[in-house]
Amino acid sequence: MRDALLATVTEEVAAVQAFESLLVDEEKALIAAQPLPVLPEIIANKTALTERIAALEKARDEQLNTLGFPAGFVGMEAAAADDSQIAEQWALLTAAARRAKQGNNNNGVLIRTRMEYNRKALAALQVAPSKAGFYGPDGRVPGA
pLDDT digits (tens, 9 = 90+) for 76-125: 999 999 999 999 999 999 999 999 999 999 999 999 999 999 999 988 88
Q: Are 17 and 72 in contact (CB under 8 A)?
A: no
Number of residues in the chain: 144
pTM of the full structure: 0.83
Helices (H), 32-136: 39-66, 72-81, 84-126
pLDDT digits (tens, 9 = 90+) for 26-80: 999 999 989 889 999 999 999 999 999 999 999 999 999 999 999 999 999 999 9
CA distance 130 to 141: 12
End-to-end CA, the chain = 87
- Sorted by where each begins, the domain ranges of the chain are 2-126
Query: Domain 2-126 maps to which CATH number in 3.40.50.300, 1.20.58.300, 3.90.1150.10, 2.60.40.420?
Result: 1.20.58.300
**Kind and range of the H or E run holding 23:** helix 2-31
